[in-house]
Amino acid sequence: MSKLRSAPTLEDVARMAGVSTATVSRCLNSPDRVVKATRQRVLSAVDTLGYTPNFAAQVMAAKRTFTIGAIIPTMENAIFARGLQAFQEELHQRGYTLLVSSSAYKPDLEEEQIRTLVARGADGLLLIGHDRDPKIYEYLDRRKIPVLVAWSYLPDAQVPSIGFDNRAAMFELTNRVIGLGHKRIGMISGISAGNDRARLRVEGVRDAVAQNELAVSDLRIIETPYEIENGAAAFSNLMSKGTRPTAVLCGNDVLAVGAIRRAQEMGLRVPQDVSITGFDDIELARIATPALTTVHVPHRDMGRKAALELVGMVEKTADGTALRLPTTIVERQSLGRPAKP
Amino acid sequence: MSKLRSAPTLEDVARMAGVSTATVSRCLNSPDRVVKATRQRVLSAVDTLGYTPNFAAQVMAAKRTFTIGAIIPTMENAIFARGLQAFQEELHQRGYTLLVSSSAYKPDLEEEQIRTLVARGADGLLLIGHDRDPKIYEYLDRRKIPVLVAWSYLPDAQVPSIGFDNRAAMFELTNRVIGLGHKRIGMISGISAGNDRARLRVEGVRDAVAQNELAVSDLRIIETPYEIENGAAAFSNLMSKGTRPTAVLCGNDVLAVGAIRRAQEMGLRVPQDVSITGFDDIELARIATPALTTVHVPHRDMGRKAALELVGMVEKTADGTALRLPTTIVERQSLGRPAKP
DNA sequence: TTGTAAGCGTTATCAG
DNA sequence: CTGATAACGCTTACAA
């Protein structure tokens, strides 16, 4: 009895081609191990039947999924979009499929999604940043799932990472700001708990300020989730209490854009009355008026290299070497000298 | 022999708890069908072993994946991000996992990804827009995979859709523009081939113009892929040949932002010298200076309702009814009256 | 070169 | 309430 209108199986193909299922399987997976004549017969059967292999069955038998999982903190803004796109393109070229989920910056959700991805047989995992419950790393280690971290570079971490030095980048930018003559500095950071990138950016600012303790008289820092509105609110906050900073460094472009907008609503000119900087150099940074001076991150390059390395780890041709990518400061219009007092 | 450090299976749990695999399975899937005493024994075994069910095996046996696939044209900008986020949140609540891929607006790639998702056993599929090779619909139909289209509303299409009326929305906006006194209109559209949304937006403009043939003396349309730079280039093009339009309607916000920037680079004031409008109302629209007058689309609502409907279709509690969501024109600063000649 | 058959880890049916 | 056991569709030794 033929099962009415259910997806055709290997056996259906085999029957139609008059061969065994093993031969059909070989035709599809290692065509050269079967003679041309039978191969053609099989392939035409595949074609007329519209056969597509059942993925779950393949996985069960082969114990390989050719799937890579990635969990990013958010899909709502473009922070990870470009890098992920490059990641996926490179994976696709190598025959892998990417499964993406977003954790909304929530550790529990991320953990759940990691387990889901593992249960689905992901051959490897891409995670953003290092900070997470050690239990997760133990779990992954037990399961022997290759893991690569991106958007952060910490050579001494237990897990290899491909990314940039968040602290150094912000350190450099802060020095530039100080060099311009700014003495009162404000920072609007993302939430640093459980987010090494945010934390290191703050440290970069702190370090630079500490190194210039004679030059800088005031540093105030506000933490808030990465959203435009929050950037605006934090900016208000910074400008309403105590002496106003002349430069506000933001943990990323999203916050910076919010800050710029609020500055304008307050009637402050950027950068004449207050300088504002971002981080990431996403499209938003160029759209903002004035265009944002920010830290450029090589998103596409990072994504591509991460794919290469992770596939290498999965296929055991790479050992998971940490890689540091360069960041650069891109000067646009939102950073200037402070007004003379 | 215990397999060294491989993921524990149902059998491992069963052995440890001193029950059969069937009982373990029941404990996990219908806990009330097993008495408390054994259940507790089993669950603690699950816990100490760190057991996670093997997804592929589950799928093979149950023929259900609780997975929904979605293919969107792009992840690079935020057009689909918000709606997809809502879609995924709602799915998650209902116990489904979302698999996303992006097709980069390429029909072949989309087709390939549809097949991949189906092979992976997606219980249902969300696609953007109706336009695609009929063979794909046949294929999906043969496989009996429920499909829902979003971001477009075409009640008579073979596949149910949840979205908005792209033509009507643009028709309304164009009438508003004409009502303001604009006589020479330009349009920067996305590529309309294989994209019913883009095509219908153009038709909306055309229809409104046709209906006001006495009022409008000129309508010029350029098609270009949805990218900021392309919006800028198309704007240059529109303004350099023949009489300049006084209003440029863009197929989406991304193109409009590019147009605004180019206008400013050309020294044109928006909207005094030229009006520019968008479509979608993504975050960019509010960031742009001047802020963009655009068509607001209820992204989150659409995503949520699409999830509900699609899950309903999968679980056979819904029949796939098309649903039209309202759009509204949001007036900001980029649209004004034309200058007196 | 091709066929046979033993898994892979679950779920579900049917007895007990 | 619980236990055998037959699928599920494919890959892969091992045989022929």
Residue A159: band (very low, low, confident or very high) from pLDDT cuts 50, 70, 90: very high
A171 and A291 assigned to the same domain: yes
Q: Tell me, yes or no, whether B3 lies in a domain.
A: no
For C3, which residue's CA is nearest its C1'?
A: A20
B212 and B312 assigned to the same domain: no
Percentage of residues of chain A with pLDDT beyond 90: 83
Q: Which CATH number is B40's domain given?
A: 1.10.260.40
B147 and B35 assigned to the same domain: no
Yes or no, beta carbons of A78 and B82 under 8 Å apart: no
Yes or no, beta carbons of A118 and B144 under 8 Å apart: no
- For residue B53, which residues of chain A lie inside 8 Å, CB to CB? 119
β-pairing, B124-128 vs B161-163, is unpaired
Which nucleotide comes closest to A58 if you measure CA to C1'?
A: D10
Q: Tell me, yes or no, whether A2 lies in a domain.
A: no
A277 and A318 assigned to the same domain: no
A193 and A306 assigned to the same domain: no
Q: Tell me, yes or no, whether B192 lies in a domain.
A: yes
| Predicted pLDDT at A303 | 98
Top pLDDT among B78 and B111 is at B111
For C6, which residue's CA is nearest its C1'?
A: A61
Of A275, A297, A319, which residue constitutes the final position of a domain?
A297
A97 and A78 assigned to the same domain: yes
Q: Which CATH number is A191's domain given?
A: 3.40.50.2300
Q: Tell me, yes or no, whether B92 lies in a domain.
A: yes
Average pLDDT over chain B, rounded to whole? 93
pLDDT at B171 over 70: yes
A184 and A257 assigned to the same domain: yes
- Give residue A17's domain range: 10-53
Taking CA atoms, what residue in A is nearest to B300? A76
pLDDT at B130 over 50: yes
Which nucleotide comes closest to B23 if you measure CA to C1'?
A: D2
B289 and B315 assigned to the same domain: no
pTM of the model: 0.90
Number of domains in chain B: 3
A181 and A210 assigned to the same domain: yes
Residue A193's nearest CA partner among A251, A278, A107 is A107
pLDDT per position as a tens digit, A39-85: 999 999 999 998 999 999 999 999 989 999 999 998 877 889 899 99
Residue A213: band (very low, low, confident or very high) from pLDDT cuts 50, 70, 90: confident
A281 and A319 assigned to the same domain: no
pLDDT per position as a tens digit, A191-202: 999 999 999 999
Q: Tell me, yes or no, whether B45 lies in a domain.
A: yes
| Predicted pLDDT at A191 | 97
| Predicted pLDDT at B75 | 83
Q: Tell me, yes or no, whether B341 lies in a domain.
A: no
For C2, which residue's CA is nearest its C1'?
A: A23
Q: Tell me, yes or no, whether B197 lies in a domain.
A: yes
In the predicted model, what is the mean pLDDT of residues A170-185? 97
Residue B11 CA and nucleotide C9 C1' are separated, in Å, by: 9
In the predicted model, what is the mean pLDDT of residues A171-189? 97
Percentage of residues of chain A with pLDDT beyond 70: 98
In the predicted model, what is the mean pLDDT of residues A309-318? 94
Q: Tell me, yes or no, whether B333 lies in a domain.
A: no
B194 and B293 assigned to the same domain: yes
| Predicted pLDDT at A2 | 34
Torsion sign, CA atoms A121, B89, B194, B247: negative
| Predicted pLDDT at A1 | 31
A157 and A81 assigned to the same domain: yes
In the predicted model, what is the mean pLDDT of residues B206-219? 91
| Predicted pLDDT at B341 | 63
